[in-house]
Amino acid sequence: MRTLLSLGLLKGVIAGLAGTAVGMALTMVVRSALGYPAWQPDQVTLAGTLVGIPAYLAGVGAFSAWWGWVLGKGIEEPGGHHFWGWTRYFGADPNHKVIGIQYMATSLVVIAVAGIYQLIARLETSQPGLQFLSPDTYNSLMSLHGIMMLGAVLLGVSGMINYLVPLMIGARDMAFPRLNAFSYWITVPAVFLLLFALPAGGFDTGWTGYPPLSTKAPLGMQLMILAFYLVGWSSILGGVNFLATIMKMRAPGMGLFRMPIFVWTALATAFLQIVFTQFVGIAFLMVLLQRVLGLGFFDPAKGGNVLLFQHLFWLYSHPAVYIFVLPGLGVISEIVPVFSRKPLFGYRLVALSSFGIALQGAIVWGHHMFTAGIEEWLRIPFMVTTMLVAVPTGVKIFSWLATMWHGKISLDTPMLFALTAIAVFLVGGLTGIPNGIVPTDLYIHDTYWVVAHFHHTLFGGFVFPAMAAIYFWFPKVTGRLLNRGLGKLHWALMTVGFFVTYEPMFWLGLNGMRRRIADYDPALGLGPMNTVVSVAAYVIALSMLVFFVNLVASAWRGTRAPANPWRSRTLEWQLSSPPPEHNFPTPPQVLGSPYGFGIPGSVHAVVTPAGGAGEEKGGLGRVSSG
């Protein structure tokens, strides 16, 4: 019981609920004192969250170190922290490995909930006609599926970067460990807000939340906006942290062009996060201000313009796609050389291509608005910039293919997922071309073609790579191997389920199936294909179930993992599994490329293992070639 009460999460939830109640009560008192009716959902809940979230953070303990600092106490440098048992995962712990696991676990929970929402919604669309959902409920489920999945992807990206980057560059921790804990803990109320959004009436705008619909949608809209804002701030602060870590915390000898590709992609991701997240944050705050205080951003009668939202929204949300997929592409670049036993092909170009994608992705947002009435003369420039994204993305695809060419490929679970990811991402990229070309986009905009396209990019760029990453790094994180049989079953079910779910959607879209609708005309003859899609979606869900069983069972009873089961050469594998609390007791000396597989005499780094001279404890002291 005392352990339970010491959990930061529990204290935070209690403080947060109390704070929310106080904030709501106070607003209602003020409102009735001013002669308004006490209950006004938007204002009262906004005030509640404005008080509740800081109260919650204080309860979790996210402020305590900073408060002590103001009062004149010293602040612990990273690495000065004393650790304890499982309870640390439920409080504000500054260790980057703990935070990485917290992010990843939260991400998987949100993915599960958001997946269930869409499984329900998919049942409704498997036949024409309205079966059991009202159109409003359908829209809420579909919208929440979208926004929660994107939130989960952001959390998963942060999780991977947090856990891996400090290890890969030979640092003890992130540059700002407490800020890191803070960034994680503000996402937890966001998850709660999203869970409350459905009981609070949901919202029917789709994940994009376009005004004017979003300025009139039920209370669920507002909870979604607040959640989005919190996750956005987590993303910005995380980006600051990642950039500072990569720029300043690298081990001696770790020049920029000796960094693993995953670190390069994290660098590009962090750049996108700190630059563009502000735009979507302000766009949604404008919606909030219009809802709560009656400002006129998107009301033409008050001098507003709804296109302002779309510009600001897509100025983030297109680059955001690259925030979602770049780390995933980095994971593929890590895994392919290891399982092909060959150096990564074209290392320098692949490293720079991440920045190419990031910069290119920043100037294409208008292609989301071809049908929205943007200025005619903007269409062609946006079409051209969109097409150019293919160049840096193509660099990556060809690098993976050339790396595998004549390699000694072993089809272990991580490699299988990476291969599916490459195939899926390729289809996602190619089917994006008709979306980016004005005349074809006018025809397929807002159809299932678009849905199929972006699910390809997100599955290929995040979901499959994230699964590959989990199978690849799980032994490092837990010290146990994931079950290989269950892993391959998961891969087979998910790959088949994915292709059968999403390839028919292209056909559906071309034949007139519009997105975001609960019902469609039976005369279109789209019923049978929709049934196929729904069944296959449940196969994906089944594969995820296998995955969750595998995670729990293997973490509990799995085979003990050696330090370096995949014979990789990056730094994290030269430590014990799981790695020591502060990673490297003395900084590793980096001498060469991380991908010199099969090159005689090639050395990535010299690592002094934990415990001084104990060669057996920390695994390989010197990485040999091969």
Partner 1 sequence: MAAAAKTRGEDRVAIYRLGLWLFMGSESFLFLALLFSRFYLQGVQRPAELNQPLGLVISIVLLLSSLSAYRGETCAVYGDQAGFRRNILVTIGLGFLFLVGVGIEWSEGFHFFPPSTGFGTVFFTLTGFHAFHVLTGVLALAAVLVRGRKVQYGPGSYWAVEGAVKYWHFVDVAWVFIYPTLYLVS
Residues that bind partner 1 (CB under 8 A): 69-72, 76-80, 172, 175-176, 179, 236-237, 239-241, 243-244, 247-249, 252, 274-279, 281-283, 286, 289, 293-297, 302-305, 308, 311-312, 586-587
Cβ atoms < 10 Å from Cβ of 257:
11
Report yes or no: 52 and 16 within 8 Å, Cβ to Cβ: yes
Report yes or no: 158 and 234 within 8 Å, Cβ to Cβ: yes
> Judged by CB, which is closer to partner 1: 216, or 408?
216
d(CA 191, CA 13): 12
The DSSP letter of residue 589 is: E
Instruction: Report the nearest approach of partner 1 to the CB of residue 358 (Å).
Output: 15
Report yes or no: 28 and 44 within 8 Å, Cβ to Cβ: yes
In the block, residue with structure tokens 């050389």:
337
From the list 452, 281, 276, the residue with the least C-alpha distance to 364 is 276
d(CA 415, CA 559): 20
The residue count for the chain: 626
> Judged by CB, which is closer to partner 1: 77, or 615?
77
The DSSP letter of residue 378 is: H
Instruction: Report the nearest approach of partner 1 to the CB of residue 40 (Å).
Output: 16
**Secondary element (H or E) of residue 69:** helix 64-70
Could you tell me the sign of the dihedral formed by the alpha carbons of 233, 182, 104, 545, in that order?
negative
From the list 507, 558, 570, the residue with the least C-alpha distance to 533 is 507
> Judged by CB, which is closer to partner 1: 302, or 408?
302
- How many CA atoms within 13 Å lie on the side-chain side of 555? 13
Cβ atoms < 10 Å from Cβ of 285:
16
The DSSP letter of residue 514 is: B
> Judged by CB, which is closer to partner 1: 235, or 576?
235
Instruction: Report the nearest approach of partner 1 to the CB of residue 278 (Å).
Output: 4
d(CA 338, CA 17): 48
Instruction: Report the nearest approach of partner 1 to the CB of residue 88 (Å).
Output: 18
d(CA 385, CA 486): 43
Q: 107 CB contacts (<8 Å, ≥6 apart)?
A: 152, 153, 155, 156, 159
Instruction: Report the nearest approach of partner 1 to the CB of residue 557 (Å).
Output: 37
The DSSP letter of residue 32 is: H
> Judged by CB, which is closer to partner 1: 165, or 463?
165
Instruction: Report the nearest approach of partner 1 to the CB of residue 605 (Å).
Output: 15
> Judged by CB, which is closer to partner 1: 33, or 70?
70
Instruction: Report the nearest approach of partner 1 to the CB of residue 501 (Å).
Output: 37
Q: 616 CB contacts (<8 Å, ≥6 apart)?
A: none
> Judged by CB, which is closer to partner 1: 131, or 586?
586
> Judged by CB, which is closer to partner 1: 115, or 609?
609
d(CA 211, CA 311): 12
Instruction: Report the nearest approach of partner 1 to the CB of residue 302 (Å).
Output: 6
Q: In the numeric block, which tokens belong to residue 406?
A: 């004549």
Helix (H), strand (E), coil (C) string for 449-477: HHHHHHHHHHHHHHHHHHHHHHHHHHHHH
Instruction: Report the nearest approach of partner 1 to the CB of residue 231 (Å).
Output: 15
d(CA 88, CA 224): 29
> Judged by CB, which is closer to partner 1: 153, or 283?
283
> Judged by CB, which is closer to partner 1: 487, or 609?
609
Instruction: Report the nearest approach of partner 1 to the CB of residue 80 (Å).
Output: 4
> Judged by CB, which is closer to partner 1: 71, or 523?
71
E strand map for 53-92: none
Instruction: Report the nearest approach of partner 1 to the CB of residue 73 (Å).
Output: 8
> Judged by CB, which is closer to partner 1: 296, or 578?
296
Instruction: Report the nearest approach of partner 1 to the CB of residue 232 (Å).
Output: 11
